[in-house]
Amino acid sequence: MSGEGEGEKRVGELQDGEVFQALAHRVRRAIIRSLAEKGERSFTELMRDARLEDSSVMAFHMKKLDGLVRRNERGYYELTDLGWRAYKVLRELELESLRDRAEEVLKEIKGKEQVTKEVSRPGPQAVSAGEEGVKGLTPTDILKEVLGGGRVWVDRSAPPAPNVKLEVIGSDITLTGTVSESIRVQGTARRESDATISTSRDEARITVKGMDGEVSVPEVNRLEILVKGGDLTARNLKLPPNVSMTVLGGDISMNAVMRELSNLSASVKGGDVLANILVEEVRQGASVSITALGGDAHITLRVPRNTKVVKGNIKAAGGDVGIEVDESLSDTGEDVRTLVINAKVIGGDASIKVTPKESGRPPSNQNARR
């Protein structure tokens, strides 16, 4: 009897893990919310609801929702019982955030007035002031401030630097390239101080906290990205030869061009990296490395045909790693460039796919899986 109870507990823990993994990314939250509030939807409709343009990115997130979303007999998507449970959790988290924001707003605006707080449910009764009230503000004014998020517009710029470090904390950021000679951060945040740029002659450090917006950077020599509990989407980006991505409970989605590949690394701990990169040139002895510890990392590279791909250190324990290399990539001829692939997976999932960038016959892959 006790064994059955333990088994049910493990199943419940597994389901909870699926629910919170689904809610960890804004795209998956949007899909769940759309299906719950609009009913069954087509793949295209869900892409529009999630504000996505890339079908491969959408397919990646739909795969993550396996068990929460299903296709019905009409070919439309709908929530499963577990999906409805995820929606309920999402609404509870949103309500909790609203309550927390109400308390913060009251603290910020009360000044020297005495204010009593009562945050019970979203509505005109959610916040009440004391008998004297808050000077110049009614309970309805306070509620509007809460629902509006009390956010400010931030617009910062700084001169370029050869090396850029970007730290994204609890934010939803679009990273783009720019033809201008400056780094720029724009968007909404709780406070102006939640977005900072500090620069020296060799390095620029960009930090955004709880921000929704865009970061633009000119071409640099090295780019380091750290995401903690947030989402970063890279678009129209020209990557430098050296790029490192670290995700701690967040997500990176990237479609980019790399002018010359020297070193590309992705380290994921409880998050996701999905990167599709066109490489214009590969340096001799270049490397691509993935470390997945309880997270997923999937990188697709389109490289010149004179690239010879070599598997270096490949380890998998409690996870899967897949390496796919198009057989048309040459290891003979003049000016062959060696690209070394390394992967370490512990309790996660990782894949690296390498195809020629030139158009031609459909690729034929040699698959290796350990």
pLDDT at 281: 94
Query: Rounded mean pLDDT of the chain?
Result: 79
Question: Domain residues of the chain, as ranges?
Answer: 2-79, 100-148, 156-369
Residue written as token pair 């040459």: 330
pLDDT at 352: 94
By percentage, how much of the chain surpasses pLDDT 70? 75
Average pLDDT over residues 196-211: 93
For the cut 50, the answer to whether the pLDDT of residue 135 exceeds it is no
Confidence of residue 282 (pLDDT cuts 50, 70, 90): very high
Considering the domain 2-79 in this protein, what is its CATH number?
Answer: 1.10.10
User: pLDDT by residue (tens digit) across 56-81?
Assistant: 788 888 888 988 999 999 899 999 98
User: pLDDT by residue (tens digit) across 309-324?
Assistant: 999 999 988 778 899 9
Higher per-residue pLDDT: 132 or 212: 212
Question: Crossing angle, helix 139-148 and helix 81-109, to 10 degrees?
Answer: 120
Q: Is the CB of residue 187 less than 8 Å from the CB of residue 228?
A: no
Average pLDDT over residues 21-33: 82
For the cut 90, the answer to whether the pLDDT of residue 147 exceeds it is no
User: pLDDT by residue (tens digit) across 82-103?
Assistant: 889 888 888 877 666 656 656 6
User: pLDDT by residue (tens digit) across 230-258?
Assistant: 889 998 889 999 999 999 878 899 999 99
Question: 0.75 exceeded by the pTM?
Answer: no
**Least confidently predicted of 18-27, 160-169, 268-277, 337-346:** 18-27
pLDDT at 192: 87
The β-bridge relationship of strands 365-369 and 320-326 is antiparallel
Instruction: Provide the Cα torsion 14, 19, 23, 29; round to 10°.
Output: 150
* 279-284 contacts, C-beta under 8 A, 24 or more apart: 279/303, 279/304, 279/357, 280/304, 280/357, 281/337, 282/306, 282/307, 282/337, 282/339, 283/241, 283/337, 284/337, 284/338
For the cut 90, the answer to whether the pLDDT of residue 125 exceeds it is no
Confidence of residue 108 (pLDDT cuts 50, 70, 90): low
